[in-house]
Structure 1
Amino acid sequence: MTKLNDSKQTLQLLGIAALNEMQEAAVSNIVQHKNVLLLSPTGSGKTLAFLIPLLEHLNPKGKLVQALVLTPSRELAIQIEQVWKAMQTGYKIICSYGGHDMPTEINSLVEPPALLVGTPGRIADHLKRRTFDPKGIRLYIFDEFDKSLALGFEEDMEYITKALKPEVQKVFVSATASIAIPAFAEPKQLVVLNFLKGRDEAPTVEMHTVWSPEKDKVNTLYDLLCTLGKVPVIIFCNHREAVERTGSLLAELGIANTIFHGGMEQMQREQALIKFRNGTAQYLIATDLAARGLDIPDIDHIVHYHLPSTNAEFTHRNGRTSRMNSKGNVYLILHEDETLPNYLPETPPTFSLKLHAPPPAASEWGTVYLNGGKKDKLNKVDIVGLFIQKGNLTKEELGLIMVKDHNCFVAVKKSKISSLLKLVREEKIKGKKFLIMEAR
């Protein structure tokens, strides 16, 4: 079992040289069994800040769930699960969320995990079904808890909290300072670790206004993307209908993109993020669901197609680019009739669009899907071996490889996908044949 005194080995497994100041402070206080409110910017490493000390709370002889992490979204829950598995702790984890097969989760809980991660609605459902005993939980973590409250999970969170022992240690995690812990969860004593103080966004985020002559901003968005050229961009809309419409209209104008919102099936959302991360799609059009907690690579450009109603969401959106002291650019597409929200005291400087800029070049990458994963004992080495030895690819023609529990996604140069699929169609991996196709 990996323990806190083996944290250097854990960091090596994660490819991290050392903990940052925020993580060291969080680890120190959580290990001492203190109730903690951890405030730190998006992208600063808060997940690791509570997972490393969480190990110290686990007893290898424990027969019940020992730690519980609540998250506002499935994506964040899955991301925490992935980090935990990468740490190679030896302790079982179960990820529980709406849209996941309930009988499968119930069956997994027959042998309780040391760590249970999930969304408030699904965890509350399990408690009502009595599929696990909460009496063994000693550490209770609310990740992005303000977002869970904003999404209407307060009743479920209160139900879960009352099911736990009163003395359970609590850790609240957020990237927003102006928040209040609800009365049902507030501990008597609380250590506040505020790493948002003194964070000056001016040097790290450069704001621009892009003026749209029409209230329908799609053509202006198109011109902006042409001006920026071939670079990854996240475009935020306020509603899922707007996300879908904007994505469709951009596609009609020759700008390939992928969309992401809460109305999509889990697999669709997962594939959208994978294609954005591996470079298949350079443009991600999304609601605020993509504003925090997701494993999205550092990017330089954020576009507000619509401005959010609150400063908190505006900050979180912008945090996708100003991560860990990196510089970023934020573009506000505005029509002259629009009124700025109160959190923007003045209009940012105007950004000039290039006249007749050519469309950005299409991505050279595509995504190949394979219907087997970790549960089939597959790993990245297996995929690389098959695609290079049997598919005649070079290492340069292979990009990011993501191996999930039941499937794999591989970035491959578009020009090679057709020949690759023909060559590997009848091949087996570890004696088993899998479906291999281009992800759509």
Structure 2
Amino acid sequence: MPFSSLGLSPYVLPALQQGLQQAGYHEPTPVQQQAVPLSLQGRDLVVLAPTGSGKTAAYVLSILQQFFMAPARRPRVLEQLVLVPTRELALQVADVFTTLGRELARRPHVVCAVGGVSINPQMMALRGGADVVVATPGRLLDLLAHNALSLRQVRRLVLDEADRLLELGFGDELRQILAELPVQRQTLLFSATFPADIAALAAAGLRDPQHLHIGTQAPVEIEQRAFHVDSERRVALLLELLEEAQWPQLMVFVGSIRDGERLAVALRKADVHAQVLHGQLAQGRRVRLLQDFRDGELRVLVATDLAARGIDIARLPAVVNYDLPRSPADYLHRIGRTGRAGEKGQAVSFVDAASLAHWRLIGKRHRLEVALEQRPGFEPRQVAPPAVAADGNGGIKGRRPSRKDRLRAAAAAGKPAD
């Protein structure tokens, strides 16, 4: 199916197709095939689609057409608002607007408004108005408090990674923002999962929405493997896989900032250029790390789940789950960093004795049939602990013992506690 079949105007299609080719899209993805025509018709949408499915381009295409076909207004009036959960995703979405709209005869003024940096440059960028604002909820409310913009004429609202917005505690902020928006507007809600709070948000904020379920299974382009390995042997196994596969770049997911720092140090000692990306870094540092990774100047990016969604690294050959994600839903978000836009990719998970039950839960939730391999020289020696109950979020209760538990275990074993 060509892009010309999506209902895009012939006045903008040639310019948009040039931008799409630069972004690596040669034909529409399934989410674009289904969402773009309905969006252009003005329908409210609830789109359930996995990471890496091309959903950002789906709503950016319809926004760019709506902007271009409308008469120019001076001063500019904010009519298009995109809300995202993280600074990284906001920057990436703004970059998609730039890429896809680069060849348009009239291009929108897009302002990216995120926290963690000074508000003053963003307020300056909003002088004279903006055509599109891509924002995190907290910073948008800050700008509203400073009277730097108005939401009264917004015609289209996009909630990208809506489940993540609610997971990160933006529910109250979303309600405040929705109260500032016109009742008569188009709302597009994109989410990777559809929990009860997302259903409630859709029921409250959308008008007779069309529901699209694109599919939440791992893309067939991703080869998934899992190794049963003792926790203390994971660094050695990772280094062996790096040498064997000769991945030019790799994203490695860890469970905590401390674990990430330790792993990055171990990799650098082995002459592997590695850095850590996490939420406590300054925004400028995070941007530079991602740019270095995109430019190929950094071989391994060790990341917490901050990077599991929304970060698009073109042609990333592989990801490794050094630690399994606490939530089974995050497994697909993590591995979706590879195998994007039709490219092949590999996803490798390390499973130790303590996480064996959780790995089985992830497989059950996603209907995965990934054999648990034992690599010669790395056969596990640790025995799996007794099964524990899963918590309501899919994570494993008791996964990390308390200090008191560690002291008792150390005393029983005759060893000092860590």
Structure 1's unaligned 5+ residue stretches are: 356-440
What letter matches 1:212 in structure 2? Answer: V
Residue 84 of structure 1 corresponds to 97
Amino acid at match of 2:45: V
How far apart are residue 4 of structure 1 and its match? 6.7
1:7·1:52 contact (CA, 8 Å) conserved in 2? no
Pair 1:344 & 2:363 matched: yes
Q: How many residues align?
A: 352
What residue is the counterpart of 2:43 in the other structure? 34
Describe how 1:244-259 pairs up with structure 2 within 5 A. 244-259=261-276
Alpha carbons 1:227, 1:354 under 8 Å: kept: no
1:195 aligns with 2:218: no
User: In 2, distance between residues paired with 1:238 and 1:47?
Assistant: 27
The match for 2:352 among 321, 325, 335 is 335
Q: Which residue of 1 aligns with 2:11?
A: 5
Q: Does the 8 A contact of 1:298 with 1:320 survive in 2?
A: no
> Which residue matches 1:46?
55
Say yes or no: does 1:181 pair with 2:214. no
Moved more, 305-314 or 337-346: 337-346
Task: Please state whether the residue corresponding to 1:338 is helix, strand or coil.
Answer: helix
SS at match of 2:357: coil
User: Which residue of the partner structure matches residue 82 of structure 2?
Assistant: 69
What is the match of residue 409 of structure 2?
A: none
Partner of 1:131: 148
Shift in Å, 1:343: 2.3
Q: Is this contact kept in 1: 2:44–2:186, CA < 8 A?
A: yes
Higher mean displacement: 172-181 or 85-94: 172-181
* 1:330-379 deviation line (CA, Å, top 9, x unaligned): 22222234332122348733152689xxxxxxxxxxxxxxxxxxxxxxxx
**Residues in 1 aligned to 2:297 and 2:195: alpha-carbon distance in whole angstroms:** 37
Query: Which of the residues 246, 264, 274 maps onto 2:291?
Result: 274
Q: How far off is 1:296 after superposition? A: 0.6
| Distance in structure 2 (CA, Å) of the matches to 1:30 and 1:94 | 22
Q: Counting strand residues as a fraction of each chain, which structure ranks higher?
A: 1
Contact 2:163 / 2:195 at 8 angstroms: preserved in 1?
A: no
Superposition map of 1:15-414 within 5 A: 15=21, 16-58=25-67, 59=70, 60-61=72-73, 63-86=76-99, 87-88=101-102, 89-177=106-194, 180-183=198-201, 185-196=204-215, 199=217, 201=219, 203-215=220-232, 217-341=234-358, 342-345=361-364, 348-350=371-373, 352=375
RMSD of the TM alignment (CA)?
Answer: 2.5
Contact (CA 8 Å) 1:70, 1:142: kept in 2 or not? yes
Letter in 2 for 1:181: A
TM-score (norm 1): 0.73
Report the CA distance between 1:225 and its aligned residue: 2.4
Q: Write the deviation string for residues 103-149 of structure 1: whole angstroms up to 9, x where unpaired.
A: 12122222110111111110112122222111110100001111111
Could you tell which deviates more after superposition, 211-220 or 129-138? 211-220
Residue in 1 that maps onto 2:402: none
> Which moves more between the two structures, 157-166 or 346-355?
346-355
Counterpart amino acid of residue 74 in structure 1: R
Shift of 1:55: 2.9
User: What TM-score comes out, normalization by structure 2 length?
Assistant: 0.77
Query: 1:272-302: per-residue Cα shift (whole Å, max 9, x none)?
Result: 1222222222211111122221121223322
Q: Distance in 2 between matches of 1:119 and 1:4?
A: 33
Would the alpha carbon gap of residues 161 and 178 (structure 1) be closer, same or farther in structure 2, given more than 3 Å must change?
same
1:186, distance to aligned residue in structure 2 (A): 3.1
Q: What letter matches 1:61 in structure 2?
A: R
Distance in structure 1 (CA, Å) of the matches to 2:115 and 2:218: 37
Counterpart Cα distance in 1 of 2:226 and 2:26: 39
Identity over aligned pairs, percent: 27
Structure 2 Cα separation of the partners of residues 211 and 193 of structure 1: 37
Bigger relative contact order, structure 1 or 2 (CA pairs below 8 A, ≥6 apart): 2
Instruction: Specify which structure has the higher proportion of helix.
Output: 2
